[in-house]
Structure 1
Amino acid sequence: MGDGSTVRRSANIILITTFLSNAGSYLVIPILAVYLVQTAGLSVAVVGAVYASMAVAQSAGSLLAGPIAHHIGPKAGLAIGLALRVMAFPIFVVSESTVHLSVACMLIWCGSGIYVPIAKSVLSAAIPPGNQRAKYLALRNSVANAGVAVGPIISIGVVRHSSETTLFWSATALFAVCLVSNFWVVLDKLGTRLSLGNYIASLVSLTKMPQAKLLIYTVIVFHALFVLFQLVMPIYGNAKVSATAPQIAYLVNSILVVVVPLAVAGWIQRSRDRLCLFLGLSLVAFSCVTMFFCAGQLGVFVVGVIFISIAEVILIVKIDVIASAVAGSLLSISFGAIGVLGTLGAVVGNQLFSGLLSQTNTQPIFWIISGGIAAVLAFGVLVVKVPRGTQMS
């Protein structure tokens, strides 16, 4: 990984570009579903399909992250992830074609799928296992979500005084800055160069680790349920609460996921896996129950966002801690696999909840049904089998 000063400088650049790239993405993401429905004229069902295609693209990016990091190096992988998003946002300006918009969305999420696992791998490799690694991964999440906090704030002002076009060009400019900054990153390849056969064998070996079943289940379930925040809450909030509810939701979420991770990282590291994961998924169910009462009530809507945001913090940090512990020297493969599983869950969640939202005609009963689904899946954490004799952290 190079000498200490080089590693620190490169890690700091990655943290900065993570902040800027998330700020750029979240200029657009809070209003993306609403834009596709209201401006581009797509139905909720079609938007659900577009979001599912985004998840597929992110999965493809996550699959590529490991081979790229091991074959041509993490620096090139980070550059590719950023460049794809530089290309994506201008497409929204020049076309309202369903196909073109789908391609733009897929480029954004494919770029994210490549970038995030490699960035996490680099930072994890630089920090010894234990509480310090957990805190550093929490710091990365806080920095990432600081960008998420800034994006919606700017987005609200731009939407009120300008247009979506300004948002798309601003996002393009921020990713261009990140891409240029990436040239100052100096990083070696992550571990030994792997052939395709060895890469697949390493991936399979990770699935046989004692905590793998619990990890796989939680990643898929969490990302399926988190569609409730990413897709449904912006549409529902815009229709039933306030025109600015989507931006407010992302702003509240981003503040919490910046502040909370560093405060709870030590507890998450020490807590038993099942208890921690069950708590996180249960909070999603509480969020759904709260949303049932939010029509015309911005304060209640915000409380629902708070519940699901705290769930996000608990689950993401715990998943990262378990994944880094399971991975050993195969960090990029482990985080890439987490990305694939997460996008698989998102595909399922997008199809399930967009269809349910259409069937319930955006009525409050949607949240009761969704809360019941979340509660059942939370209890699933308690019944996933782990080999006897395994010490759950």
Structure 2
Amino acid sequence: MSASNNGHLPVVVVGAGPIGLAAAARLVERGLEPLVLEAGPSAATAVRGWAHVRLFSTWAEVTDPAAEKLLAPTGWVRPDAAAYPTGGDWAERYLQPLADVLGDRVRYDATVTGVARAGRDRIVDSGREDQPFAVHLRTAEGHEERITASAVIDASGTWSTPSPMGASGLPALGEKSAAGHISYRVPNLDDPAVRARYAGRRTAVVGSGASAFTALAHLADLAKQEAGTHAVWILRRGIGAGTYGGGEADELPARGALGLRAKAAVEEGYASAVTGFRTEAVERDGDGRVALVADDGRRLDPVDEVIVLTGLRPDLSFLSEIRLGLDERLQAPTALAPLIDPNVHSCGTVYPHGVKELSHPEQGVYLVGMKSYGRAPTFLAMTGYEQVRSIAAALAGDQEAAERVELTLPETGVCGGAGLFDEPGNAEEPAGGCCATPTTLQIRTGGC
């Protein structure tokens, strides 16, 4: 079923982040009516969660062409193309203005709680493809609503579901009970309350990607000012040539510099690296601190705080009545998974892709942006913009445009290391690493 078959119904877009708003702009460009449902009180709620973090990419790389066309009549001018915005800059100077232009097509405080075929649960075949979608949502006041849609584009990202500390993918024993000592975000040390939490204390940083690099660099800066501040860096694998990324050879200079800052934190003694450590348990001691225990029996000296940066994962709970075709490992669309699987991906680009790779057994439903990559740590924002361009073309019935690739990504030639992420988060990828390709959503903590 295409949106053109139900032209009186909107295409529901879940999430008013970079890819969701770009999807709406592309739909408008195609003459289709989007309805963006955002769980937060404003556009780019997830991006605002890391407002203090600077992107690796420039303004020229983080805006979508169709979005710029919508903004142009308002007098909006893209900021300095060569400058690197923070998450806060991005939200305030581009994403919120774009949402404002879309106007009533964006609804805030609208949490999607379920998506299904109207009148059909996931078991029923009869007449399924002829039915529109029923999208259930909950408002901030707790009211429940149902919206009928011609298609659904899920751009809700993965920010709300960080991966746990346990190396098995499940929370480590004691992880939940020690929640008061554990954070799953890169801390904003410019906030006095947050700074006080880590100043003069020992903090374990669990993770090996850009998020961990950022935390290590920030804690090293704090250690230079506050005596007694020290980081214990927990890695599930060893330290090799690619551990700190591409360094000066990285074609994204900000990303390369970040890896070098993390390396300096270790070499200068502000952080101690513990390798081959797969956390199995978190134990609390009588002094109000916690100790991490590995699956090989090693028990580290107690720390005051733990920052867990082991990646993000998609929330698929509200799609339980939809027939999705997902790879059993990555939780990414089946046709897309081989292109992004970090178990087999080494040097080379993650190729641009569109509606063909993003389609599911349930026609008219698409996971886009970081959510489309499931647990893979290689998402590129330019790729996300290409995704929604292709999907909008398909929904408008322009199959030729939907199948056409309109994006070329050059390689950086930097292999191994931290991987790529669209949203803050750094999945611990296999030792082979993933070839680093240019990102437009690669953030210095590690979509959307």
TM-score, length of structure 1 as denominator length: 0.31
Q: Which has the higher contact order (CA 8 A, sep 6+)?
A: 1
More helix by share: 1
Higher radius of gyration, 1 or 2: 2
TM-score, length of structure 2 as denominator length: 0.28
